[in-house]
Chains A and B, each alone.
Chain A
Amino acid sequence: KQEVTQIPAALSVPEGENLVLNCSFTDSAIYNLQWFRQDPGKGLTSLLLIQSSQREQTSGRLNASLDKSSGRSTLYIAASQPGDSATYLCAVLNSNSGYALNFGKGTSLLVTP
């Protein structure tokens, strides 16, 4: 069964810092990996999707990388802002178990002014 782990569980940084969120998964047979943002009690907003054949994706201040062979992905956030405060979830879509996303437990990010 695919296990998705996110480190750290929580992170607090001052505004303006660059930061890295980590995601690891145990089964490398994936279709893709997706990073989501979730505000408290709210829905999931897709940030970046990396297909299994890709190494990275960029959107604005966000950059996500994927190393499928080692089962790792990172989400890099440049020049963090208080509005970035949220929980960031990593989710993996396996290629050998239907089309269900396997989520990590998330990293809770707080960016202080």
Chain B
Amino acid sequence: AAGVIQSPRHLIKEKRETATLKCYPIPRHDTVYWYQQGPGQDPQFLISFYEKMQSDKGSIPDRFSAQQFSDYHSELNMSSLELGDSALYFCASSPGDSGANVLTFGAGSRLTVL
């Protein structure tokens, strides 16, 4: 069965550079969520989209932005990267903007900022 696809799987950037992470949800899933997991930390919610509109916002820095496109894939753009942005970034998708649905997570994109 198709899963949530994230790319790239690994990314290395320098401080103050920009990075873009991509997420392709499970087919027919119209809701996408982004989470950030720092080393040894629990995942922290960043932002979510339902039907291409932002549905919820968590602890996402102002340097980050995200959007969901017409094909439901989502991109997380991170600018002016800092060392503390080094983390595993997870994308999850679900069918519909409802708490009753199970979130399916991707394998994550590991960002290292040097």
* Chain A residues proximal to chain B, CB less than 8 Å: 4, 31-32, 34, 36, 41-46, 49, 51, 89, 91, 93, 95, 98-106
Contact = CB atoms under 8 A, between A and B. Distances in A.
Contact of A99 (B48, B90, B105): B48
24 contacts: A32-B100, A34-B102, A34-B103, A36-B105, A41-B88, A42-B108, A43-B105, A43-B107, A44-B43, A44-B90, A44-B105, A46-B104, A49-B102, A51-B100, A89-B43, A95-B99, A98-B48, A99-B48, A99-B56, A99-B97, A100-B33, A101-B33, A105-B42, A106-B42
Contacts of B105: 36, 43-46
Contact of B99 (A46, A99, A105, A106): A99
Contacts of A44: 43, 90, 92, 105
Interface of B: 31, 33, 35, 41-45, 48, 55-58, 88, 90, 92, 97-100, 102-108, 110
B39 to A, nearest CB: 10
B100 A98 contact: no
Contacts of A32: 99-100
B45 A46 contact: no
Given A44-B92, A46-B102, A99-B55, 16 more contacts: A4-B42, A32-B99, A41-B88, A42-B107, A42-B108, A43-B107, A44-B90, A51-B100, A89-B43, A95-B99, A98-B55, A99-B48, A101-B33, A101-B45, A101-B103, A105-B41
B103 A31 contact: no
A99 B54 CA distance: 12
Shortest 9 CB-CB contacts between residues of A and residues of B: A31-B99, A98-B56, A100-B45, A103-B42, A43-B107, A44-B105, A105-B42, A93-B99, A43-B108
